[in-house]
Structure 1
């Protein structure tokens, strides 16, 4: 279990070396934790794509980042609507026309506890669609660019990565076993439960991408709990942000967890692929046993729930690949 008051960060912006020549995608990179990630990468000369729905918000963020750093890398907007699966392939095509490789994808964007009954353009429960299904399809379609990034990097370095944001809420609220598969077909009328399902889904996608695609290609797939951060994620539950304010941290602090997950040399393909990172930059050794068991296939003594979740994601996105 993650402590309410995590220890002092050991990975800070000072540990981020030059990112010149590297290409990054940060979904939802124009606010909160995503904004900080984008800013740090730009400051260290990375080539950054802020992916999201709002070009106006992205341009505002880009202007602020460029004004704060006059000798950074490059940064631009990539239109990506995770709420509409039919648009994601076009976003990948736009990116592929500009880049021959990708080094890291932070699937940072998300939605938390919108009104009960909120659905995506395809009629899917909104949190599952935006937090899991959209990023799943986006990542699968980007895989050739990630493979190219791995081929261009030092062998075995694990520097090419896909990152999946989970949450301490998952650890506290996910039912035994992680996800009740039937709830994916018939989502409960409980927005908190659906949020927990989506954050557990991110953990499962991290482990399944690592097993199915990552390890054989030298690509790291990892989940991370960024820590309690005051951000736009609470726009649908402002009361929660107020009640939890004494335990909240600034996005700058929470971003250290995401940056550790993406850039720390402590995370390696051979030993850490599919790992779960906790605040403020540590590989967890205390994830709930039932959640760990869910990420293990039945043939290896686990429940295979993560694999079932992958199959669900495949089914729901196959028409848009």
Structure 2
């Protein structure tokens, strides 16, 4: 309970716009950045003169978002660049072309924020390849996009300050609404199970992002890329668009504006407090190192190290499912 309460009602943020240095020359990508937390993160990055790719499905929404960011007072005079990147994380076959656009345009990639997600879509919703929509959009799509951009990020490490090249995986309050062990596999198929409880199914995909951060750090820690998972905090955003009206109303009263979630993301992406020793860590609102529940922590460790090996198994499954599209 203390873990949940402390993340639901965190202290005031200590890492905000004022703590972010000039980012001239830095290249960043924020997925799902046409609204909500991703929009706010993109705006702050652009205000600090970074090149920012708004990666999203809708070019129309991206055009509106770019105009809003450029027209805001905080971004007046920015020397940064804003670009729309067409990206549909629910459609694995299309992701490679999105990554290739970045690889053709840029010689570096400093920060990749996997912010996009879908929450509680109508029951039975699937991706274009038949995967559960939440698992596909929140896990398989970002995994594929990340893998395709790794060569560019590895290249950037050699020409960037130590520990500054980072991948941020958006999770949630993993102390709440999560099945025991954080994850359930279908014994028949070897795939992640589609759970009957809508919240548990969503949270399983969010635990998957914690697995990604931890496994990437374990497998690629010597590459010099810092990989972190983040609970951005409780905010009212478009993520809750499928929630019942009364629930949506309550969220609007209790939850914070999305900029607070951007502070959590950008702490992970930019804080000098984070070094290689924290690779794979879990960040909580509004920019703090946070605890991982014991039953999920066990899942992060391979069986050879006394854990349950669930994170390792999930990574291997994602590699198999996405191999044809990377």
The 5-angstrom pairing of residues 10-49 of structure 1 reads: 10-49=14-53
Aligned pairs (5 A) from 1:184-199: 184-199=191-206
2:244 counterpart of 1:217: no
Instruction: Give yes or no for contact 1:115–1:191 (8 Å, CA) kept in 2.
Output: no
How far apart are 1:234 and its partner, in Å?
0.5
Q: Distance in 2 between matches of 1:234 and 1:59?
A: 23
Partner of 1:304: 309
Partner of residue 207, structure 1:
214
- In the other structure, the counterpart of 1:172 is 176
Matches within 5 A, 1:232-271: 232-239=238-245, 240-269=247-276, 271=277
Contact 2:236 2:251 in 1 (8 A): no
Deviation at 1:186, TM superposition (A): 4.1
Of 145, 150, 157 in structure 2, the residue corresponding to residue 143 of structure 1 is 150
Query: How many corresponding residue pairs?
Result: 315
State the TM-score, normalizing by the size of structure 2. Answer: 0.94
Alpha-carbon separation, structure 2, partners of 1:70 and 1:253: 21
1:294 aligns with 2:317: no
Q: Retained in 2: the 8 A contact 1:117–1:189?
A: no
CA distance in 1, matches of 2:193, 2:180: 18
Find out whether 1:134 has 2:138 as its counterpart: no
Structure 1 residue 191, shift from structure 2 partner:
2.4
Match of 1:163 among 165, 168, 178: 168
SS at the partner of 1:78?
strand
Structure 1 gap ranges (5+):
none
CA deviation after TM superposition for structure 1 residue 244, in Å: 3.2
Which residue among 70, 87, 90 is the counterpart of 1:83? 90
CA contact (8 A) 2:183 2:192 kept: no
SS at match of 1:123: coil
2:63 is the alignment partner of 1:59: yes
**Correspondent of 1:125 among 120, 129, 132:** 132
Distance in 1 (CA, whole Å) between partners of 2:200 and 2:130 is: 18
Question: Partners of 2:307 and 2:318 in 1: how far apart?
Answer: 20
SS in structure 2 opposite 1:188?
coil
Distance 2:244 2:217 in 1: 35
- Matches of 2:157 and 2:81, distance apart in 1: 21
TM-score normalised per structure 1: 0.95
Partner Cα distance (1:188, 1:46) in 2: 40
1:162–1:114 Cα change, 3 Å: same
Are residues 1:314 and 2:319 paired?
Answer: yes
Partners of 1:104 and 1:238 in 2: CA distance: 35
**Match of residue 228, structure 1, among 223, 234, 251:** 234
- Contact 2:185-2:193 at 8 Å conserved across structures: no
Once residues 232 and 92 of structure 2 are traced to their aligned partners in structure 1, the CA distance between those partners, rounded to angstroms, is 26
CA RMSD of aligned residues (A): 1.2
Instruction: Flag structure 2 segments of 5+ consecutive residues without an equivalent.
Output: none
Q: Distance in 2 between matches of 1:245 and 1:57?
A: 22
